[in-house]
């Protein structure tokens, strides 16, 4: 019924034709998926890599963790601190440069970011190509991440027009919860009741802190009233963002593992295509290129912004690969809290009692969750001796 409605006005195309095309595509995929298939030319090899991947290299079985939990705890703390500082510093640099170059449309800056990231990861892949694992999943899987990331950004910016400040604050503080729910749906990840409780405590504490520190802002002239459209857009932002993080982790969990540079190449390639199509549809592609060529300062700042973004992407992918999407979502929440605290200290703005309570709740939930993961679970694993 749905196909009849969609293709009623399409000249020369019937529902039966569409079914035949879909069946042909399934047959081709089945043919390309054969382990003994070896393409006789570059076209078929590229087509198989894009549509099927390299399933003959996939591995089965679980990797055994032999490292002591306490030793692993200290190693993870150092690595996580390094990754967090890398993400934070790149966000600061990008924010500083972006303030200087926002004279042009947002899409052209994103396109430049993707192109520079493409060349950056291609250069790295060429240098370490012998140490890269085979790309097992189909290459088009990266398009899911690219599209969901684009939709997440669009929903976020559009939602700001239709939601109030408290709604924005609560949603930003609650990113961990939809990330956990999406992980359960997409990756079948299991979380305990304590994990969900800690996520709610983190969201609650962060929301209290944000609202207490920005109470004056919420009554400004630019305040918006929350509408149904705004709520739907914020839900879309949280949902697509959670899907992006969990889909990345799902691809990282393939065996042999996908490398961060392979992920970076695939996502940025599809994102560059999306940005190019968007600029062409708006008839601003060639004018943007002309502006960049004639304004060397803008081109230089855009390149520096894109280079910083490329390095930031590597830190983000390393964090998701090693620690998962939940930890990354927590890092982003902590980043916002630290930014507000540093701003308050720099401008001599005192932290309210309610804000301090929110901080205690948020960081207390993180510390308790960490203690459960590394120390309580270790005690449960130890055999009981009589």
**Residue 278: helix, strand or coil by DSSP?**
helix
287 in the same domain as 349: yes
Q: Which pLDDT band holds residue 227 (cuts at 50, 70, 90)?
A: confident
| Same domain for 74 and 184 | yes
Question: Are 238 and 325 within 8 A, CB to CB?
Answer: no
Task: Specify whether the backbone of 196 is left (phi greater than 0), alpha (psi in -120 to 50) or beta.
Answer: alpha
Least confident of 51-60, 136-145, 238-247: 51-60
In a domain, 57, yes or no: no
pLDDT for res 241: 93
Tokens in use for 49? 């890599």
Answer yes or no: are the C-beta atoms of 49 and 139 closer than 8 Å: yes
Q: Are residues 246 and 372 in the same domain?
A: yes
pLDDT of residue 36: 54
User: Residue 322: is its pLDDT beyond 80?
Assistant: yes
Instruction: Look at the block and give the residue holding tokens 């964090």.
Output: 319
Confidence of residue 257 (pLDDT cuts 50, 70, 90): confident
More confident residue, 225 or 365: 365
Q: Are residue 34 and residue 140 in the same domain, yes or no? A: no
**Claim to verify: residue 104 and residue 190 sit in the same structural domain:** yes
Query: 5 with 146, same domain?
Result: no
For residue 385, the tally of other CB atoms under 10 A from its CB is 4
CA 155 – CA 238 distance, rounded (Å): 9
Same domain, residue pair 330 and 275: yes
Residue 63 included in any domain? no
Write out the two tokens for 139: 């290459």
68 has pLDDT over 70: no
Q: Model pTM?
A: 0.78
Mean pLDDT of 263-280: 92
Distance CA 313, CA 331 (A): 14
Q: How many CB atoms lie within 10 A of CB 196?
A: 15
Q: Are 306 and 113 in contact, with CB atoms under 8 Å apart?
A: yes
Q: Is 384 exposed, middle or buried (0-12, 13-18, 19+ CB in 10 A)?
A: exposed
Q: What sign does the CA torsion over 192, 194, 200, 206 have?
A: negative
Binned at pLDDT 50, 70 and 90, residue 162 comes out as confident
pLDDT of 307 above 50: yes
Instruction: Say if residue 21 is in the same domain as residue 135.
Output: no
Q: Which two tokens stand for residue 12?
A: 């020369």
Provide the mean pLDDT of the chain.
Answer: 79
Asked if residue 64 belongs to a domain, the reply is no
206 and 272 inside one domain: yes
Q: State the residue range of the domain holding 369.
A: 70-379
Residue 186 forms part of a structural domain: yes
* Of 135, 152, 105, the residue nearest 278 (C-alpha): 105
Q: For residue 59, is it within any domain?
A: no
Which pLDDT score, from 0 to 100, does residue 13 have?
57
According to DSSP, residue 103 is labeled T
Q: Give, for 221, the enclosing helix (H) or strand (E).
A: none
Q: Same domain for 246 and 289?
A: yes
Q: Which residue intervals of 282-383 are DSSP H helices?
A: 285-294, 296-323, 325-346, 353-371, 377-381
Residue 279 inside a domain? The answer is yes
Could you tell me if 117 and 30 lie in one domain? no
Contact 357, 208 (CB under 8 A): yes
Q: Which tokens hold the place of 377?
A: 């679970």
Domain count, the chain: 2
pLDDT digits (tens, 9 = 90+) for 292-302: 888 888 888 88
Same domain, 78 and 34: no
Q: Given pLDDT bands bounded at 50, 70 and 90, which one contains residue 18?
A: low
Say if 10 falls within a structural domain.
yes
Residue 65 lies in a domain: no
318 vs 287: which has the higher pLDDT: 318
The pLDDT tens digits for 97-153 are 877 776 555 677 888 889 999 999 999 999 998 888 888 888 899 999 999 998 998
């Amino acid at each position: 019924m749905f196909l009849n409605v969609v293709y009623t006005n399409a000249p020369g195309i019937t529902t039966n034709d569409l079914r035949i095309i879909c069946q042909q595509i399934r047959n081709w995929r089945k043919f390309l998926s054969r382990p003994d298939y070896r393409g006789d030319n570059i076209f078929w090899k590229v087509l198989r890599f894009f549509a099927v991947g390299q399933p003959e290299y996939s591995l089965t079985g679980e990797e055994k963790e032999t490292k002591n939990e306490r030793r692993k705890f200290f190693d993870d703390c150092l690595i996580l601190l390094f990754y967090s500082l890398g993400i934070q510093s790149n966000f600061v640099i990008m924010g500083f440069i972006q303030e200087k170059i926002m004279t042009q449309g947002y899409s052209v800056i994103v396109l430049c970011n993707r192109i520079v990231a493409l060349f950056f990861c291609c250069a790295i892949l060429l240098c370490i190509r012998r140490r890269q694992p085979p790309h097992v999943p189909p290459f088009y899987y990266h398009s899911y991440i690219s599209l969901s990331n684009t939709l997440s950004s669009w929903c976020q910016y559009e939602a700001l027009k239709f939601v109030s400040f408290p709604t924005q604050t609560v949603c930003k503080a609650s990113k961990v919860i939809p990330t956990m729910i999406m992980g359960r749906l997409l990756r079948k990840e299991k979380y305990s009741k304590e994990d969900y409780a800690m996520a709610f405590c983190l969201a609650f504490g962060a929301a209290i802190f944000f609202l207490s520190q920005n109470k004056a802002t919420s009554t400004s002239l630019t305040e918006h009233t929350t509408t149904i459209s705004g709520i739907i857009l914020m839900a879309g932002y949280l949902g697509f963002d959670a899907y992006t993080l969990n889909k990345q982790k799902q691809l990282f969990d393939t065996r042999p593992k996908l490398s961060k540079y392979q992920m970076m190449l695939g996502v940025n390639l599809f994102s560059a295509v999306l940005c190019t199509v968007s600029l062409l549809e708006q008839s601003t592609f060639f004018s943007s290129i002309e502006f960049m060529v004639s304004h060397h300062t803008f081109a230089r700042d855009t390149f520096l912004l894109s280079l910083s973004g490329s390095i930031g992407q590597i830190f983000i992918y390393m964090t998701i690969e090693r620690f998962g999407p939940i930890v990354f979502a927590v890092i982003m929440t902590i980043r916002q809290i630290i930014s507000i605290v540093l701003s308050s200290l720099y401008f001599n703005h005192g932290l309210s009692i309610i804000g301090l309570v929110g901080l205690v709740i948020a960081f207390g939930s993180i510390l308790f969750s960490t203690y459960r993961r590394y120390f309580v679970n270790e005690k449960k694993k130890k055999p009981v001796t009589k």
